[in-house]
Structure 1
Amino acid sequence: MNSSLFETTVPNPIAYLDRVAATDLGRSYKKRMLDELGVEPGRTVADLGCGPGTDLGALADAVTATGAVIGVDHDESAVATAGERTAGRDNVTVLLGDLHELPLPDGSVDRARTDRVLQHVADPARALREARRVLRPGGRLVMGEPDWGTLTVDHPDGELSRAYTRYVTDEAVRNARIGSQLPRLAADAGFAVPTVLPITSVFRDVRAADGILGLERTTRRAVEAGHLTGEAARRWLDHLADGPFLAAVTFYLVVAER
């Protein structure tokens, strides 16, 4: 196996988010999210789960100096980084807070976004109710989440592919199917859901896929969890490294209106 193809150590969370944002895929879907938000000058926009502030600058440019952008994240290191990256932007505020109990008043924002955050939270339904609470009537929430149940990694032994995906959906990601569940959860939270946009990401280069999916790291964890044997993991990774490669997963962009 050409193990040098694969990243074996877990990347720093902030570095990983920056890496994803810098890919063609990241730039493309983030632009589509911004378009769907329909941000106008003078609006107040909340980035819920803003991480290291990746998208705060683009939002600040969209609302102009007459508007306001509020980033909220539960991670102190991410909040500190976001604050550093937006220093000098008077229309940006970054707050430490929990998406289940947002540090914002009722009806205080015009637009809100969540980007690959709800797959990780303890209670997505509660987070959606909180997002609705802080939106003004007529406000809009735009969410982007993968459905990891759609993950396909081609392999001559289809059962190995299915076992890998089962591990990802059953154990690796807390809310692995959240992408396709978002329209229902948003409706249950009281939103209207006018738009659902599926975006299928296709990877033909194993290095590019590994940078996003962490193929070897995830495979090793699948072995530890009993989803794959050590021998099966070797056969799986050998083909991914040496054979023609294809992986795909569907990302859902969902627009919800209050």
Structure 2
Amino acid sequence: MSMTLGVSRPDQAAYMLRAAAADAGRAYKRELIDLLDVRPGHTALDVGCGPGTDLSALAERVGPDGTVFGVDRDPAMLAEARLRTDALPAVEIREGDAHALPVEPGTVDRVKTDRVLMHVAEPADVLAQLHLVTRPGGLIGLTEPDWDTLAVDAEDLETSRAFTRYTTSRLVRHATVGRGLARLAARAGFTVETVLATTSVFRDFQDADHTLGLGRNVQRAIKDGVIDETRGRRWFAALSEGPFFASFTLISVVGRRPVS
């Protein structure tokens, strides 16, 4: 089989910037920020800000009298975020963990997390931190995928299903946290105001391979004995020949910390 399976992980900052620049990425990010109703003078917090993809949009909304905190634990991400926001005086980049946010309690008007909770150790503990730092009446906006909804079209349907099961059970720490966002937010003390589902659709094989890790992850599934090597390679080669379709669902939740 001549098709080469990818095995290396992409540079994470470049990966996140490319994903955010895609049409689907721009649409759900814009919708989440709109739902958060960020206003001039607000203090906004982006937990797991990564390379700073959304910090400029938040800074524009809080204006010269507002503040935007970008928090991440990855030094490479923080360095990229600082470069991207160097000319934005409203933005302050802080190193920190989502389980112990470097922000004073009760000081933030708006909080955003985007595809962060699926990676953390304890999503419920992070939601407790969000409740701690948010002012009474403040809003949080959460977006996470549900990887059980990953659908990759192929004549070999069983291998596509095996790939989705492998992604959910082996590759992502909290692969279905998206469907639980409303429950997690409510248990943390927020009043859930909005729940939305957005389907991300991929019709270009190269974009899907980059974003979903089709090649490198089927290689891992083969190595782990989950997918037969010959079958996995044939499946991946057939995907590359097109026409191509894949999709998964992103869930967004907006919650408010009650005033009393």
Q: 1:152 matched to which residue of 2?
A: 151
Residue 138 in structure 1 maps to residue 121 in structure 2: no
Letter of the aligned partner of 2:123 in structure 1? P
Task: Confirm or deny: 8 A CA contact 2:6 2:219 kept in the other structure.
Answer: no
For 2:40, what is the secondary structure of its paired residue? coil
How many angstroms apart in 2 are the aligned matches of 1:216 and 1:31?
A: 30
Residue 74 in structure 1 maps to residue 73 in structure 2: yes
Shift of 1:99: 0.3
How many angstroms apart in 2 are the aligned matches of 1:25 and 1:79?
A: 24
Shift of 1:157: 2.3
For 1:98, what is the secondary structure of its paired residue? coil
Q: TM-score, normalised by structure 2?
A: 0.95
Shift of 1:7: 5.2
How many angstroms apart in 2 are the aligned matches of 1:248 and 1:107?
A: 38
Q: 1:120 matched to which residue of 2?
A: 119
How many angstroms apart in 2 are the aligned matches of 1:2 and 1:21?
A: 32
Q: 2:64 matched to which residue of 1?
A: 65
Cα RMSD of the aligned pairs, angstroms, is: 1.4
| Structure 2 segments unaligned to the other structure (5+ residues) | none
After TM superposition, which residue ranges in structure 1, 4 or more long, deviate above 2 angstroms?
1-4, 6-9
Aligned ranges for residues 194-205 of structure 1 at < 5 Å? 194-205=193-204
Q: How many residues align?
A: 257
For 2:160, what is the secondary structure of its paired residue? helix
Q: TM-score, normalised by structure 1?
A: 0.96
Letter of the aligned partner of 1:240 in structure 2? L
How many angstroms apart in 2 are the aligned matches of 1:119 and 1:157?
A: 28
Shift of 1:2: 6.4
Q: 1:32 matched to which residue of 2?
A: 31
Sequence identity percentage: 49
| Structure 1 segments unaligned to the other structure (5+ residues) | none
How many angstroms apart in 1 are the aligned matches of 2:243 and 2:51?
A: 35
Task: Confirm or deny: 8 A CA contact 1:205 1:245 kept in the other structure.
Answer: yes
How many angstroms apart in 1 are the aligned matches of 2:2 and 2:197?
A: 34
Shift of 1:205: 1.8
- In the TM superposition, what whole-angstrom CA distance separates every residue of 1:161-193 from its partner, at most 9, and x where no partner exists? 111001000011111001111111111111111
Letter of the aligned partner of 2:79 in structure 1? A
Q: 1:3 matched to which residue of 2?
A: 3
Q: 2:216 matched to which residue of 1?
A: 217
